[in-house]
């Protein structure tokens, strides 16, 4: 599973490090701390940019269908 090419995405290293393993959730009234990257991380919540949400949802759906993982099923419940 870790070598699955559909699970790998490029990311800005500082954003990736700060987002940790936080669940994707909507974060209201916060601004991005990453310049032109509009990823928002606040109080152990991460809100990806709108243009990335579809790719993220498809990756979680793929992982759920390919590996039947409950964690993936819970994580793609993020509604953007």
Percent of the chain having pLDDT more than 90? 0
pLDDT at 79 over 70: no
C-alpha neighbours within 13 Å on the C-beta side of residue 64: 14
Percent of the chain having pLDDT more than 70? 71
pLDDT at 68 over 60: yes
CA angle 26, 30, 34 (to 5 degrees): 100
């Amino acid at each position: 599973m870790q070598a699955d090419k559909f699970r790998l995405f490029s990311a800005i290293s500082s954003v990736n490090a700060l987002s940790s393993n936080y669940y994707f959730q909507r974060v209201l009234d916060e601004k991005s701390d990453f310049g032109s990257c509009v990823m928002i991380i606040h109080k152990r919540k991460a809100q990806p940019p709108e243009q990335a949400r579809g790719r993220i949802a498809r990756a979680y759906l793929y992982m759920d269908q390919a590996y039947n993982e409950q964690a993936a099923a819970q994580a793609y419940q993020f509604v953007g």
